[in-house]
């Protein structure tokens, strides 16, 4: 018996445990001080009433013989997949119901999709980015190529014709940088993928934050993407489902490699290894896409975006370079006075009692940068920004 040796190549993730330890120490040393956490990528507003009502109704149905449901439809209930297709139609993207797969969130699907690709493929991953892309490929022993996000390209790296990649990860709006690709930029990626026979794994977990109508919210708004891209989305940030769990993945029928439909492969994978999402949660998810649901969640998103705007204004006044903060809940700032990510973390906590996330935790190119988020109450954000203005950063 041998373990998977690739796990030995994973770096231990100390990011959030180190943050928790430092915050605990600070709290013990400063008992009267109210700590404000602007580092967490989790939502703070509750589920919409229309969502909880739909789930309560579904619970009642499950308790009655006449309406009880057992195993559900393999790709997710038709009512939910139709609602998702309707949502895409509003983005001018036509999807077939059997191109949509309901899952328990983007993280699982982003990791599990790798089952359908050969271990010999190389992968191209932005740096910095959401760490799951790299870790899931390290576990599978794949060769990783990095694309550099930096201040020069506004953390939106574009294709390099000298690099040939089989699988490409794109995340827009990006976690952690908040940067959003334009249609013209995504078109370059689609052209590159078609030319090189690559597959783009497009993570649109934060698409709902995009307010600028000229920016894409789905890669399928780019011509040709249906031949080279899989899209992952989630209700986690869209509708506060981080604790409820529901997402979806789109695999178009036109995505063919080695003469085989990737939609068929993914269906085979999911029906073998995935049990689906509960009826109750899928009814809640369906309600997200109802008229009332969309109005409510969009209001919640505006609330987080207003927080991000307050943070952005403060950074602008303090002459601190940043990206994101518009069309995204994330603000990615350059640490003042050339501090490292952790130096800035320590000084910010010590001088202001505000907690953020060191950029180095998202890849080597994150060193010297720092992520703060709009996921908090308005009062906390205002108070934190007052401390930024008066404290030493």
The residues, any chain, with a CB within 8 Å of residue 227's CB and separated by 6 or more, are 194, 252, 254, 255, 256
For ligand PLP, the binding residues in 153-172 under the rule CB under 6 A are 171
Residue nearer to ligand PLP on the CB measure, 175 or 312: 175
User: Judged by CB under 6 A, how many residues of this single chain contact ligand PLP?
Assistant: 13
89-97, 100-108, 113-121, 332-340 -> range binding ligand PLP (CB under 6 A): 100-108
> Which x/- pattern, by CB under 6 A, does the window 130-149 give for ligand PLP?
x-------------------
Helices 341-352 + 15-29 axis angle, to 10: 30
Least distance to ligand PLP, CB of residue 350, Å: 27
Residue nearer to ligand PLP on the CB measure, 103 or 353: 103
Residue nearer to ligand PLP on the CB measure, 200 or 393: 200
Residue nearer to ligand PLP on the CB measure, 326 or 387: 326
Q: Which of 75, 234, 244, 376 binds ligand PLP (CB under 6 A)?
A: 234
107 near ligand PLP (CB under 6 A)? yes
> Which x/- pattern, by CB under 6 A, does the window 314-353 give for ligand PLP?
----------------------------------------
363 near ligand PLP (CB under 6 A)? no
Q: Which of 39, 76, 105, 159 binds ligand PLP (CB under 6 A)?
A: 105
242 near ligand PLP (CB under 6 A)? yes
Least distance to ligand PLP, CB of residue 245, Å: 7
Q: Which of 36, 38, 39, 41 binds ligand PLP (CB under 6 A)?
A: 41
Residue nearer to ligand PLP on the CB measure, 41 or 159: 41
Residue nearer to ligand PLP on the CB measure, 205 or 229: 205
Residue nearer to ligand PLP on the CB measure, 99 or 203: 203
Q: Which of 99, 166, 203, 226 binds ligand PLP (CB under 6 A)?
A: 203
Q: Which residue ranges make up the site for ligand PLP (CB under 6 A)?
A: 41, 105-107, 130, 171, 175, 203, 205, 234, 236, 242, 247
């Amino acid at each position: 018996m041998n373990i998977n040796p690739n796990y030995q190549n994973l770096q231990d993730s100390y990011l959030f445990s180190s943050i928790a330890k430092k915050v605990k120490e600070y709290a013990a040393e400063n008992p009267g001080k109210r700590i404000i956490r602007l580092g967490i990528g989790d939502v703070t507003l509750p589920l919409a009433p229309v969502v909880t009502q739909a789930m309560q109704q579904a619970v009642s149905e499950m308790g009655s013989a006449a309406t009880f449901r057992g195993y559900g439809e393999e790709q997710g209930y038709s009512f939910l997949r139709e609602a998702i297709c309707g949502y895409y139609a509003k983005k001018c993207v036509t999807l077939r119901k059997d191109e949509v797969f309901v899952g328990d969130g983007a993280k699982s699907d982003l990791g599990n999709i790798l089952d359908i690709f050969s271990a010999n493929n190389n992968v191209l991953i932005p740096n910095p980015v959401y760490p799951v892309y790299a870790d899931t490929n390290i576990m599978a022993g794949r060769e990783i190529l990095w694309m550099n996000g930096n201040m020069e390209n506004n953390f939106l790296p574009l294709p390099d014709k000298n690099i040939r990649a089989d699988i490409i990860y794109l995340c827009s709006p990006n976690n952690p940088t908040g940067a959003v690709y334009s249609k013209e930029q995504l078109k370059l990626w689609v052209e590159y993928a078609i030319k090189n026979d690559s597959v783009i794994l497009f993570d649109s977990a934060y698409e709902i934050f995009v307010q600028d109508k000229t920016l894409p919210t789905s890669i399928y708004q780019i011509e040709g993407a249906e031949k080279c891209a899989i899209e992952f989305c989630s209700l986690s940030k869209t509708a506060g489902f981080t604790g409820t769990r529901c997402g979806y993945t789109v695999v178009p029928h036109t995505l063919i490699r080695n003469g085989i439909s990737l939609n068929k492969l993914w269906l085979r994978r999911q029906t073998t290894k995935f049990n689906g999402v509960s009826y109750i949660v899928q009814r809640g998810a369906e309600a997200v896409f109802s008229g009332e649901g969309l109005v409510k969640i969009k209001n919640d998103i505006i609330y987080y975006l207003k927080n991000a705007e307050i943070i952005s204004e403060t950074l602008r006044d303090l002459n601190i370079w940043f990206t994101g903060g518009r069309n995204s809940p994330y603000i990615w700032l350059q640490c003042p006075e050339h501090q490292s990510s952790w130096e800035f973390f320590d000084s910010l906590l010590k001088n202001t009692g505000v907690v953020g996330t060191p950029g180095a935790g998202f890849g080597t190119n994150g060193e010297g940068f720092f992520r703060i988020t709009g996921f908090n109450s308005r009062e906390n954000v205002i108070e934190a920004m007052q401390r930024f203005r008066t404290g030493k950063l």
